């Protein structure tokens, strides 16, 4: 039976890398976050006040369309970032920081609520939990020009919203992965363990825990 799994997590948590590696291992189809396709992203990181609403609307519409396509895909799929994070983390943070006007945020939230009410959830969300030093180090090392304005303080704000969102999220099962402790790029046994936990969760185990003693 085909499965729809989404990988969630903050900027620099390792979502795209995990999607690629898991898809290679499980022979699933990957679908990645449309970072390069967003025509507002460079402007957004330069002037969030002006471009935040435009950028978030782009991400929301693109990811809603992708979510629908993944539900209809004939094989098992793995998605890089969920539609829920756009609204519950990034748009909410921008509103709280005064980067999105309250009128625009209300319009955005109403659009999100109406559309997601008709959207079946994934079979599983894999949440990559990472500390700010880990996130910031990975962002710095990959050297994307449009991410140069990202600060540790911004990542900390997002992390708080992520933890609040994932705690309350109940639309489908969640597998939380300790990204600080696992190096699934250099250590294949870590990747094998994550793949095994994903399969366990998809087959109905109520609780799947990463025991640090399991890690080579």
**Which structure tokens are listed for 21?**
């590696």
CB 139 within 8 A of CB 147: yes
Neighbours of 122 (CB within 10 A): 24
Q: How far apart are CA 115 and CA 119, in angstroms?
A: 7
pLDDT at position 210, please? 65
**Which structure tokens are listed for 187?**
């250590």
Neighbours of 180 (CB within 10 A): 14
In the chain, what is the straight-line distance between the N-terminal and C-terminal CA atoms, in Å? 32
CATH number at residue 165: 3.40.50.300
Q: How many domains does the chain have?
A: 1
Look up residue 150 and give its DSSP letter.
Answer: -
CB 32 within 8 A of CB 16: yes
Q: Has 80 been annotated as catalytic?
A: yes
Q: How far apart are CA 110 and CA 8, in angstroms?
A: 22
**Which structure tokens are listed for 186?**
């250099």
pLDDT at position 213, please? 63
Q: Which domain holds residue 81?
A: 4-214
- Rounded alpha-carbon distances, angstroms, from residue 90 to 42, 70, 86, 114, 189: 16, 22, 5, 18, 33
Tens digit of pLDDT at every position of the chain (216 positions): 899 999 999 999 999 999 999 999 999 999 987 665 778 878 887 888 899 999 899 888 888 888 989 999 999 999 999 999 999 999 999 999 999 999 999 999 999 999 889 899 999 999 999 999 999 988 887 767 767 778 899 999 999 999 999 999 999 999 999 999 888 888 899 999 999 999 999 987 655 566 666 665
What is the H or E stretch that residue 106 is in?
helix 102-117
Look up residue 122 and give its DSSP letter.
Answer: P
Annotated active-site residue in 37, 80, 117, 192? 80
Q: How far apart are CA 183 and CA 179, in angstroms?
A: 7
Give the rounded distance of the alpha carbon of 96 from its chain centre.
20
């Amino acid at each position: 039976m085909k499965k729809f799994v989404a990988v969630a997590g903050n900027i620099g948590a390792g979502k795209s890398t995990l999607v690629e590696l898991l898809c290679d291992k499980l022979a699933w189809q990957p679908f990645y976050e449309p970072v390069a396709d967003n025509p507002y992203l460079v402007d957004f990181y330069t002037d969030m006040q002006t471009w935040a609403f435009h950028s978030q609307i782009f991400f929301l519409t693109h990811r809603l369309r992708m979510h629908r396509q993944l539900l209809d895909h004939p094989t098992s799929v793995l998605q890089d970032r969920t539609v829920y994070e756009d609204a519950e983390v990034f748009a909410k943070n921008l509103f709280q920081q005064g980067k999105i006007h309250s009128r625009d945020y209300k319009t955005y939230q109403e659009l999100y609520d109406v559309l997601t009410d008709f959207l079946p959830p994934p079979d599983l969300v894999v949440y990559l939990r990472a500390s700010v030093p880990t996130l910031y180090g990975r962002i710095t090392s990959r050297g994307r020009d449009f991410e140069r304005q990202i600060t540790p303080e911004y990542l900390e704000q997002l992390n708080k919203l992520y933890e609040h969102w994932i705690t309350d999220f109940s639309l489908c099962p969640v597998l939380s992965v300790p990204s600080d402790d696992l190096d699934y790029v250099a250590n294949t046994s870590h990747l094998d363990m994550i793949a095994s936990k994903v399969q366990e969760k998809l087959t109905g185990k109520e609780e799947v825990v990463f025991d640090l003693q399991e890690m080579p």
